Amino acid sequence: MCYLTSLDLNLIVNSFGENGAKYLGEELSKCATLTSLNLNLLFNSIGEIGAKYLGEEISKCVTLTSLNLNINVNSISENGAKYLGEEISKCAALTSLNLILIINNIGDNGAKYLGEGIAKCVTLTSLNLDLERNSIGENGAKYLGEGISKCVTLTSLNLNLKNNSIGENGIRILK
């Protein structure tokens, strides 16, 4: 059993893949008193299955109020975004979410899944969502906007959709 309340892990560029993500997730789920998690996994080739493992285990941290998850350039695709969205929605105490998914090719469907998951985070007050360079178009922007709009307790929002193809209509939808 782990009795940490705050954990900051910087594991960038280690190429531990989906199995490493699985083992890391299993250990994180043992931290029953964890309220704040800062996890930087940039360039680790975790893929969609690794995202699934991480999401499943992080959602078991029932006291988690603050989650900072950086999984840039990990090839999680739309299925990985689906798994993350589903599992993040189970974090009932979450008030602050910083999700950085730059260059993961999640597309419109991945944006939809993330939007659906975020919509279920009823205690969320602060959201930073960085989806730069993920092949998200107008529909993806629409889905994200719909999900985020359901977060009625949200007081702080930072949304980065830079270098996607949302176009003028996508911008109009997000407003």
Q: Does any domain span residue 160?
A: yes
Q: Does any domain span residue 95?
A: yes
Going by DSSP bridges, is the β-strand pair 96-100/156-160 parallel, antiparallel, or unpaired? unpaired
Q: Does any domain span residue 37?
A: yes
Is the model more confident about 11 or about 169? 11
Q: Does any domain span residue 127?
A: yes
Query: For 109-163, how does the pLDDT look when each residue is reduced to its tens digit (9 = 90+)?
Result: 999 999 999 999 999 999 999 999 999 999 999 999 999 999 999 999 999 999 9
Q: Does any domain span residue 112?
A: yes
Average the pLDDT over 6-26 and give the result.
Answer: 96
Residue 135: which CATH number? 3.80.10.10
What are the distances in angstroms from CA 19 to CA 22, 44, 48, 75?
A: 5, 11, 11, 15
Query: For 30-55, how does the pLDDT look when each residue is reduced to its tens digit (9 = 90+)?
Result: 998 999 999 999 999 999 999 999 99
Name the pTM for this structure. 0.94
Which two structure tokens, joined as six digits, stand for 51?
């995202």
Mean pLDDT (the chain) is 94
Total domains in the fold of the chain? 1
DSSP secondary structure of 42-69: -S---HHHHHHHHHHHHTT-TT--EEEE
Q: Does any domain span residue 157?
A: yes
Supply the range of the domain harboring residue 160: 6-174
Q: Does any domain span residue 115?
A: yes
Whether pLDDT at 175 is above 70: no
Q: Does any domain span residue 1?
A: no
Element containing residue 142 per DSSP (H, E): helix 138-149
